[in-house]
Amino acid sequence: MRDMNQGMKPEMLRSAGKNGQKPNVSGPFDVRELAKQGRRQIASSFIALVAGSVLLASSACGKNLPDPVTKANGIATIPIDGLVFVIPERTWLKGYSRNSTDGLVYGFTLHAVAPKVEPWSPESNEKMYKVPGWGTRIEIRISSNEGRPFIKQTAPWIEQTTKGCHFQRSKMHSVENIVYCETEYERRFAYVEGDQFRYQISCDSYKVKAAEKFPTDPECRLRFFYGDKLSVHVVFAERYFPHAFDMARAIEAKLIEFDKTPQHINTTKEQGK
Protein backbone atom coordinates (compact mmCIF):
# COMPACT_ATOMS: atom_id res chain seq x y z
CA MET A 1 0.00 0.00 0.00
CA ARG A 2 1.18 3.51 -0.76
CA ASP A 3 1.20 6.30 1.80
CA MET A 4 0.26 9.81 0.77
CA ASN A 5 3.73 10.95 1.76
CA GLN A 6 5.59 8.35 -0.30
CA GLY A 7 7.86 9.66 -3.05
CA MET A 8 6.73 9.53 -6.64
CA LYS A 9 8.65 8.40 -9.67
CA PRO A 10 10.05 10.60 -12.47
CA GLU A 11 7.74 11.23 -15.35
CA MET A 12 7.32 13.01 -18.63
CA LEU A 13 5.52 16.34 -18.53
CA ARG A 14 3.69 18.04 -21.33
CA SER A 15 3.48 21.63 -20.14
CA ALA A 16 0.98 24.22 -21.24
CA GLY A 17 2.83 27.55 -20.97
CA LYS A 18 0.75 30.55 -20.02
CA ASN A 19 0.95 34.00 -21.61
CA GLY A 20 4.41 33.44 -23.00
CA GLN A 21 5.94 32.07 -19.81
CA LYS A 22 8.37 29.21 -20.11
CA PRO A 23 6.89 25.71 -19.78
CA ASN A 24 7.10 24.35 -16.26
CA VAL A 25 8.61 20.88 -16.07
CA SER A 26 7.39 20.08 -12.58
CA GLY A 27 5.08 17.09 -12.18
CA PRO A 28 3.53 15.43 -9.11
CA PHE A 29 6.63 15.20 -6.90
CA ASP A 30 6.81 14.27 -3.22
CA VAL A 31 5.52 17.06 -0.95
CA ARG A 32 8.67 17.00 1.19
CA GLU A 33 10.69 17.80 -1.92
CA LEU A 34 8.30 20.67 -2.57
CA ALA A 35 9.04 21.98 0.91
CA LYS A 36 12.77 21.80 0.26
CA GLN A 37 12.32 23.65 -2.99
CA GLY A 38 10.31 26.37 -1.29
CA ARG A 39 12.92 26.78 1.45
CA ARG A 40 15.81 26.80 -0.97
CA GLN A 41 14.74 29.26 -3.63
CA ILE A 42 18.37 30.04 -4.31
CA ALA A 43 18.79 26.58 -5.84
CA SER A 44 15.75 26.82 -8.12
CA SER A 45 17.77 27.19 -11.32
CA PHE A 46 19.71 24.03 -10.56
CA ILE A 47 16.51 22.13 -9.79
CA ALA A 48 15.00 23.27 -13.08
CA LEU A 49 18.10 22.07 -14.92
CA VAL A 50 17.89 18.63 -13.30
CA ALA A 51 14.16 18.39 -14.02
CA GLY A 52 14.83 19.28 -17.64
CA SER A 53 17.39 16.48 -17.88
CA VAL A 54 14.87 13.98 -16.48
CA LEU A 55 12.29 15.22 -18.98
CA LEU A 56 14.65 14.71 -21.91
CA ALA A 57 15.64 11.24 -20.71
CA SER A 58 12.00 10.20 -20.25
CA SER A 59 11.01 11.61 -23.63
CA ALA A 60 13.78 9.62 -25.30
CA CYS A 61 12.43 6.40 -23.75
CA GLY A 62 8.75 6.95 -24.54
CA LYS A 63 8.69 9.30 -27.53
CA ASN A 64 7.16 6.67 -29.83
CA LEU A 65 4.32 5.76 -27.45
CA PRO A 66 0.88 7.13 -28.37
CA ASP A 67 -0.37 10.02 -26.28
CA PRO A 68 -3.73 9.15 -24.65
CA VAL A 69 -4.54 12.83 -24.02
CA THR A 70 -6.70 14.45 -26.68
CA LYS A 71 -7.08 18.19 -27.22
CA ALA A 72 -9.76 20.07 -29.13
CA ASN A 73 -11.03 23.65 -28.99
CA GLY A 74 -8.88 24.50 -25.98
CA ILE A 75 -10.07 21.50 -23.96
CA ALA A 76 -7.86 18.59 -22.88
CA THR A 77 -9.39 15.17 -22.19
CA ILE A 78 -7.12 13.29 -19.79
CA PRO A 79 -7.68 9.60 -19.00
CA ILE A 80 -6.00 8.50 -15.78
CA ASP A 81 -6.43 5.30 -13.80
CA GLY A 82 -9.88 4.54 -15.24
CA LEU A 83 -11.15 8.11 -14.82
CA VAL A 84 -11.56 10.82 -17.45
CA PHE A 85 -11.02 14.52 -16.75
CA VAL A 86 -12.05 17.23 -19.21
CA ILE A 87 -10.09 20.39 -18.44
CA PRO A 88 -9.81 23.85 -20.06
CA GLU A 89 -6.19 24.16 -21.18
CA ARG A 90 -5.67 27.91 -21.08
CA THR A 91 -7.17 28.68 -17.68
CA TRP A 92 -6.66 25.55 -15.55
CA LEU A 93 -4.28 22.97 -17.00
CA LYS A 94 -0.58 23.50 -16.43
CA GLY A 95 0.70 20.16 -17.71
CA TYR A 96 0.46 16.39 -17.50
CA SER A 97 2.89 13.53 -17.05
CA ARG A 98 3.14 10.10 -18.67
CA ASN A 99 4.85 6.85 -17.85
CA SER A 100 7.93 6.23 -19.97
CA THR A 101 7.11 2.50 -20.08
CA ASP A 102 3.56 2.43 -21.45
CA GLY A 103 2.81 6.09 -22.23
CA LEU A 104 -0.25 6.20 -19.96
CA VAL A 105 -0.98 9.32 -17.95
CA TYR A 106 0.54 9.21 -14.49
CA GLY A 107 -0.58 12.64 -13.29
CA PHE A 108 -1.55 16.15 -14.23
CA THR A 109 -1.05 19.61 -12.76
CA LEU A 110 -3.52 22.47 -12.42
CA HIS A 111 -2.98 25.99 -11.18
CA ALA A 112 -5.37 28.48 -9.65
CA VAL A 113 -5.49 31.84 -7.89
CA ALA A 114 -5.64 32.00 -4.09
CA PRO A 115 -7.65 32.24 -1.96
CA LYS A 116 -10.85 31.64 -3.94
CA VAL A 117 -9.41 28.94 -6.25
CA GLU A 118 -10.12 30.99 -9.36
CA PRO A 119 -8.79 30.14 -12.85
CA TRP A 120 -5.63 31.61 -14.31
CA SER A 121 -6.09 34.76 -16.38
CA PRO A 122 -3.75 37.25 -18.08
CA GLU A 123 -4.62 39.70 -15.30
CA SER A 124 -3.68 37.25 -12.53
CA ASN A 125 -0.46 36.06 -14.19
CA GLU A 126 1.71 38.84 -12.74
CA LYS A 127 0.87 38.04 -9.11
CA MET A 128 1.01 34.30 -9.72
CA TYR A 129 4.32 33.99 -11.56
CA LYS A 130 6.28 37.22 -11.62
CA VAL A 131 6.83 37.75 -7.91
CA PRO A 132 9.28 36.01 -5.54
CA GLY A 133 7.95 32.77 -4.08
CA TRP A 134 4.43 31.49 -4.64
CA GLY A 135 2.60 34.78 -4.95
CA THR A 136 -1.12 34.11 -5.35
CA ARG A 137 -0.47 30.81 -7.13
CA ILE A 138 -1.99 27.53 -6.00
CA GLU A 139 -0.34 24.52 -7.63
CA ILE A 140 -2.46 21.36 -7.67
CA ARG A 141 -0.76 18.07 -8.53
CA ILE A 142 -2.91 14.98 -9.09
CA SER A 143 -1.28 11.57 -9.42
CA SER A 144 -2.33 7.96 -9.87
CA ASN A 145 -1.82 5.36 -7.17
CA GLU A 146 -1.60 2.75 -9.96
CA GLY A 147 -4.26 0.50 -8.50
CA ARG A 148 -2.68 0.15 -5.06
CA PRO A 149 -4.98 0.87 -2.10
CA PHE A 150 -4.26 3.95 -0.01
CA ILE A 151 -3.30 3.66 3.64
CA LYS A 152 -6.07 5.03 5.83
CA GLN A 153 -5.02 8.37 7.27
CA THR A 154 -5.93 8.25 10.95
CA ALA A 155 -4.50 10.06 13.98
CA PRO A 156 -3.04 6.89 15.60
CA TRP A 157 -1.34 5.79 12.37
CA ILE A 158 0.21 9.21 11.69
CA GLU A 159 1.34 9.55 15.31
CA GLN A 160 3.06 6.17 15.03
CA THR A 161 4.82 7.09 11.79
CA THR A 162 5.63 10.76 12.48
CA LYS A 163 8.14 11.42 15.23
CA GLY A 164 6.95 13.95 17.78
CA CYS A 165 3.38 14.23 16.46
CA HIS A 166 0.64 14.07 19.09
CA PHE A 167 -2.68 15.41 17.87
CA GLN A 168 -4.93 17.69 19.85
CA ARG A 169 -7.84 19.92 18.95
CA SER A 170 -6.70 23.00 17.02
CA LYS A 171 -7.17 26.20 19.01
CA MET A 172 -6.80 28.17 15.77
CA HIS A 173 -10.10 26.82 14.40
CA SER A 174 -13.62 27.15 15.77
CA VAL A 175 -14.84 23.74 14.58
CA GLU A 176 -14.14 20.70 16.74
CA ASN A 177 -13.11 18.28 14.01
CA ILE A 178 -9.80 19.98 13.15
CA VAL A 179 -6.79 18.59 15.00
CA TYR A 180 -3.20 19.78 15.20
CA CYS A 181 0.29 18.60 16.02
CA GLU A 182 3.75 20.16 15.73
CA THR A 183 6.99 18.29 15.15
CA GLU A 184 10.52 19.53 14.79
CA TYR A 185 9.98 20.13 11.10
CA GLU A 186 6.32 20.92 10.50
CA ARG A 187 2.98 22.02 11.88
CA ARG A 188 0.24 19.64 10.74
CA PHE A 189 -3.50 20.23 10.72
CA ALA A 190 -6.16 17.73 9.72
CA TYR A 191 -9.88 17.89 9.04
CA VAL A 192 -11.37 14.74 10.55
CA GLU A 193 -14.43 12.86 9.30
CA GLY A 194 -15.32 9.79 11.36
CA ASP A 195 -11.94 8.46 12.39
CA GLN A 196 -10.10 9.42 9.19
CA PHE A 197 -8.40 12.57 7.93
CA ARG A 198 -10.18 13.99 4.90
CA TYR A 199 -7.75 16.88 4.37
CA GLN A 200 -4.25 17.34 5.76
CA ILE A 201 -2.39 20.65 5.75
CA SER A 202 1.23 21.06 6.80
CA CYS A 203 3.42 24.14 7.10
CA ASP A 204 7.03 24.50 8.21
CA SER A 205 7.57 24.50 11.97
CA TYR A 206 8.54 27.74 13.68
CA LYS A 207 11.95 26.20 14.35
CA VAL A 208 12.53 25.55 10.65
CA LYS A 209 11.39 29.04 9.72
CA ALA A 210 13.69 30.59 12.33
CA ALA A 211 16.66 28.65 10.95
CA GLU A 212 16.26 29.91 7.37
CA LYS A 213 19.40 31.64 6.14
CA PHE A 214 17.76 33.24 3.11
CA PRO A 215 14.49 35.16 2.85
CA THR A 216 11.79 32.90 1.45
CA ASP A 217 8.08 32.93 0.85
CA PRO A 218 6.84 30.35 3.40
CA GLU A 219 4.57 27.70 1.97
CA CYS A 220 1.99 25.19 3.11
CA ARG A 221 1.07 21.84 1.62
CA LEU A 222 -2.40 20.34 1.34
CA ARG A 223 -3.00 16.61 0.78
CA PHE A 224 -6.11 14.53 0.22
CA PHE A 225 -7.37 11.57 -1.80
CA TYR A 226 -9.72 11.85 -4.74
CA GLY A 227 -11.87 8.76 -4.39
CA ASP A 228 -9.82 5.60 -4.08
CA LYS A 229 -7.64 6.15 -7.16
CA LEU A 230 -5.84 9.50 -7.05
CA SER A 231 -3.83 11.51 -4.56
CA VAL A 232 -3.92 15.30 -4.61
CA HIS A 233 -0.96 17.42 -3.48
CA VAL A 234 -1.36 21.19 -3.32
CA VAL A 235 1.15 23.94 -2.54
CA PHE A 236 0.35 27.57 -1.70
CA ALA A 237 1.81 30.52 0.16
CA GLU A 238 1.48 30.33 3.95
CA ARG A 239 -0.26 33.70 4.04
CA TYR A 240 -3.36 31.89 2.74
CA PHE A 241 -3.38 29.34 5.54
CA PRO A 242 -6.54 30.84 7.14
CA HIS A 243 -8.36 29.87 3.92
CA ALA A 244 -6.71 26.45 3.58
CA PHE A 245 -9.67 24.17 4.36
CA ASP A 246 -12.00 26.28 2.23
CA MET A 247 -9.48 25.99 -0.61
CA ALA A 248 -9.36 22.21 -0.09
CA ARG A 249 -13.11 21.93 -0.51
CA ALA A 250 -13.07 24.23 -3.54
CA ILE A 251 -10.28 22.22 -5.21
CA GLU A 252 -12.12 18.96 -4.59
CA ALA A 253 -15.29 20.48 -6.04
CA LYS A 254 -13.38 21.62 -9.13
CA LEU A 255 -11.99 18.10 -9.67
CA ILE A 256 -15.52 16.72 -9.40
CA GLU A 257 -16.61 19.28 -12.01
CA PHE A 258 -13.81 18.20 -14.37
CA ASP A 259 -14.42 14.48 -13.78
CA LYS A 260 -16.54 13.28 -16.69
CA THR A 261 -16.19 9.56 -16.06
CA PRO A 262 -19.81 8.37 -16.57
CA GLN A 263 -19.85 5.66 -13.90
CA HIS A 264 -17.90 7.88 -11.49
CA ILE A 265 -19.87 11.13 -11.60
CA ASN A 266 -22.48 10.27 -8.95
CA THR A 267 -19.89 8.78 -6.59
CA THR A 268 -17.64 11.84 -6.64
CA LYS A 269 -20.58 14.21 -6.25
CA GLU A 270 -21.53 12.38 -3.08
CA GLN A 271 -17.90 12.52 -1.90
CA GLY A 272 -17.75 16.29 -2.35
CA LYS A 273 -20.81 17.05 -0.21
Number of other residues whose CB lies within 10 A of the CB of residue 200: 19
pTM for the full model? 0.74
What is the chain's mean pLDDT, rounded? 79
The three-class DSSP label of residue 60 is helix
pLDDT tens per residue across span 85-119: 999 999 999 999 999 999 999 999 999 999 999 99
Residue type at 96 in one-letter notation: Y
Give residue-wise pLDDT tens across range 172-214.
Answer: 888 889 999 999 889 999 999 998 999 999 998 877 777 776 6
Q: What does the pLDDT look like over 27-45, one tens digit per residue?
A: 443 444 444 444 444 344 4
pLDDT at residue 5 greater than cutoff 50: no
pLDDT digits (tens, 9 = 90+) for 238-247: 999 999 999 9
Contacts of 266 (CB under 8 A, 6+ apart): none
Distance CA 207, CA 184 (A): 7
Residue 96: closest CA among 20, 34, 16, 21: 16
pLDDT for 249 beyond 90: yes
Q: What is the pLDDT of residues 48-90, one digit of tens each?
A: 443 443 343 334 345 689 999 999 999 999 999 999 999 999 9
Q: What is the dihedral of CA 271, 227, 268, 140, to 10 degrees?
A: 100
Which of 112, 102, 20, 114 shows the shortest CA–CA distance to 66?
102
